[in-house]
Amino acid sequence: MKKRQLGSSDLFISEISLGGMSLSTDKEKAASIVDMALDAGINTIDTADLYDFGVNEEIIGSILGKRRQDIVLATKVGNRWTEGVDGWCWDASPSYIKEAARASLKRLGTDYIDVYQLHGGTIEDDWDGIIDTFESLKKDGLIREYGISSIRPNVLKRFLPASSAKSVMMQYSALDRRPEEWFDFVASEGASVVTRGTVAKGLLTNEWDERLRRANGYNAYTAEELHKTLAKLAAHYGDLHALALAFNLKEPAIASTVIGASSRQQLEETLVAYEKATCITNFQVARELTKNKKYVDHR
């Protein structure tokens, strides 16, 4: 598994990161997937305090044990919940970020978080306070680097130039190319993109025809457009799963793509697709067949 530098940081992360959100709450089953990922060379795990309301962090922390020092561990903050109350609310206040960081550290069973990410954000947030808080956590050694999970251009333009953030998580795939116009900007600010949604809810896997039966379109595609596009991509490239990974990793601004797995079989499919992805070098047809839209909102 190849690794790439995360922005201008000292962190080098695997081209495939394991997404924690899909992991089972059964520790034994989750441990089997995590161990398989680490043995395959994946060195980065992405979670969030919101996933299963902290349980996901607890499970990952209990699994890593002595392997923690070999892992780049990323989690997120900003979605606040209260035990016994349904739902959650957005809270990016400095006091809550500090409180949540210590709670995540406890659940993860570690002294530090490698990449601490704001789990969203709006242009109305107190960005000076947010940045100062992240810098304070970094100075205290509780986090190594920080970043944001956001697709909002106005938020990124406010956050990145004023901070030393190294990571921007964005939904990006061959079926959602909206982030492309921002890749150069992110890189110029010393950060890297880490992608989610790479396989587009399974539409960019070799089960695409089955997933199509349950999909009423996707992003900017109607159901009819989606069928035509995927059929043509499959006819040209053969393995859509491999294409999905290769399409993202062709971008120098992208350090890693986060892929979830709820079973060892799903992880194995990703690992096989990753090996095949290295053989895909021509993306002209994929670019011609897919829509290159731009973000309309939050500009």
Which residue is associated with the tokens 């990410």?
A: 117
Cα distances from 239 to residues 22, 66, 160, 213, 224, in angstroms, run 23, 37, 36, 19, 21
What residue numbers bound the domain in which 8 lies? 3-199+251-262
Express each pLDDT in 220-246 by its tens digit.
999 999 999 999 999 999 999 999 999
Residue 145 region by backbone torsions, left for phi larger than 0, else alpha for psi between -120 and 50, else beta: beta
The share of the chain scoring above pLDDT 70, in percent, equals 100
pLDDT score recorded for residue 83: 76
Q: What is the tally of structural domains in the chain? A: 1
pLDDT score recorded for residue 89: 86
Amino acid at 58: E
Residue 236 lies in a domain: no
Domain of 172: which CATH number?
3.20.20.100
Residue 219 lies in a domain: no
pLDDT score recorded for residue 35: 95
Residue 227's Cβ-count burial label (10 Å; 0-12, 13-18, 19+) is: middle
Express each pLDDT in 132-164 by its tens digit.
999 999 999 999 999 999 999 999 999 999 999
pLDDT score recorded for residue 100: 96
Express each pLDDT in 29-86 by its tens digit.
999 999 999 999 999 999 999 888 889 999 999 999 889 999 999 999 998 877 777 7
The one catalytic residue in 51, 172, 221, 237 is: 51
In 30-166 the beta strands, taken as DSSP E runs, fall at 44-46, 72-77, 79-80, 89-90, 113-118, 143-149
| Structural contact between residues 78 and 119, judged by C-beta atoms closer than 8 angstroms | yes
pLDDT score recorded for residue 86: 77
Measured CA to CA, the distance from residue 131 to residue 246 in angstroms comes to 33
Measured CA to CA, the distance from residue 283 to residue 201 in angstroms comes to 21
Residue 173 lies in a domain: yes
Is 237 known to be catalytic?
Answer: no
Which of 233-242 are b and which e, b meaning 16 or more Cβ less than 10 Å from the residue's Cβ? Answer: bbeebebbbb
Cα distances from 179 to residues 125, 208, 248, in angstroms, run 22, 23, 11
pLDDT at 102 over 90: yes
pLDDT score recorded for residue 228: 97
